[in-house]
Structure 1
Amino acid sequence: MSQSGSEKENEKEIEKKEIQQDEEKEKEKEKDLKTTKNEEENEKENEKEKENTKKKVTDDPETLLKKLETIKQFACAIIFDKKGKVIASTVKTKSKEIKAYLTAFDSYDVTVGNGFVLNGSHYIVYRFYDTLIYGRNGKAGEGPGICLHKFTRTSDDKELFALITYEYPVLSSRAIPILQKFCKEL
């Protein structure tokens, strides 16, 4: 009888240990679940912050203007939508001039034939790429350059235009990649 009593005690102790181990495993699982949930929540919050930051930069005209003004290679810069609404501009322009840029990509011949006019100055332009039209007012190394870039903003797939001018010693080979990078980050 003492053996069976001892065996029962051993079985009870083994059972207690198994229960404790099971409880510890459950606690670890709960802890892992909480950690995973916290990590997922943190990721979601980070994504929301990134989206909000993008929106702040791209939707707020003042912020966009400040960002444009920091690019010293641009003599002037204008961002506008496909309806001709100016979103940000470092220079005052006539709405009639802006509207002319909306159709600049429609016809190669018309655009190259007419050139661009910005604040009364005429620019001779070329179009080698589907999303870029650029040229100059006057002789190379003397007159200001101009570039119109049509792009799609990544944050909301909105079609926009960016128009810049640049002055010597800044050349198109320097100004245009800066413009493209700026637009890509919007």
Structure 2
Amino acid sequence: MSKSGSEKENEKEIEKTEIQKDESEEKDLKTSKNEEENEIENEKEKENTKKKVTDDPETLLKKLETIKQFACAIIFDKKGKVIASTIKTKSKEIKAYLTAFDSYDVTVGNGFVLNGLHYIVYRFYDTLIYGRNGKAGEGPGICLHKFTRTSDEKELFALITYKYPVLSSRAIPILQKFCKEL
């Protein structure tokens, strides 16, 4: 049985449509792969940028200096090595902060000392210790925040002081956000 001309044309049209469909699917697959590759590349670039910013002490210091609510800021690791600091401090004072989260009673009982100035502190949270020197609205405030840097899972500490009119309710969330972005 031979096929009529219109049946042959229909078969050719169907075959042509299937070829176009296959080509379209292949093109979509390539586009999808390119999009995935671009997305992966963008993620790698973000990671590299993040590492560059947080691993470079000078860049970290510049970022700290842009936060006007901090009178001073120090970032150091769990060995007491200062990574970035807006002030000069004694290594003995920095080492005292390394054990601040070990004992609630000792920390609250002793308070903090920074550049010879004593601060009365409180510890309401596992990763924050904060307080002030003198009366509220007069003396400077202080906050020690223990955090884990997301780029390399390294445990770090951030210590800041702030002066009135900046209060702990303003300075501490800024510090937490800064540390979270490292």
Is this a same-fold pair by TM over 0.5?
A: yes
CA distance in 2, matches of 1:3, 1:97: 96
**Gaps (5+ residues) in structure 2?**
none
SS at match of 2:3: helix
CA distance in 2, matches of 1:140, 1:54: 37
* Matching of residues 132-147 of structure 1 within 5 Å: 132-147=128-143
Give the C-alpha shift of residue 21 in structure 1.
7.7
Q: Size of the alignment, in residue pairs?
A: 182
**4+ residue runs of structure 1 moved beyond 6 angstroms?**
1-27
Give the C-alpha shift of residue 39 in structure 1.
0.7
SS at match of 1:150: strand
1:89/1:34 Cα in 2 relative to 1: closer, same or farther (>3 Å)? same
Are positions 1:44 and 2:44 aligned together?
no
CA distance in 1, matches of 2:8, 2:170: 87
Give the C-alpha shift of residue 34 in structure 1.
2.0
CA distance in 2, matches of 1:56, 1:152: 17
Post-superposition Cα deviations, 1:119-176, rounded to whole Å, max 9, x if no partner, equal: 1111111111111111111121111111101111122211110000001111111111
CA distance in 1, matches of 2:5, 2:160: 94
CA distance in 2, matches of 1:88, 1:3: 84
Post-superposition Cα deviations, 1:103-130, rounded to whole Å, max 9, x if no partner, equal: 0011111111111111111111111111
**Gaps (5+ residues) in structure 1?**
none
1:119/1:87 Cα in 2 relative to 1: closer, same or farther (>3 Å)? same
Give the C-alpha shift of residue 33 in structure 1.
2.6
1:34/1:98 Cα in 2 relative to 1: closer, same or farther (>3 Å)? same
TM-score (norm 1): 0.85
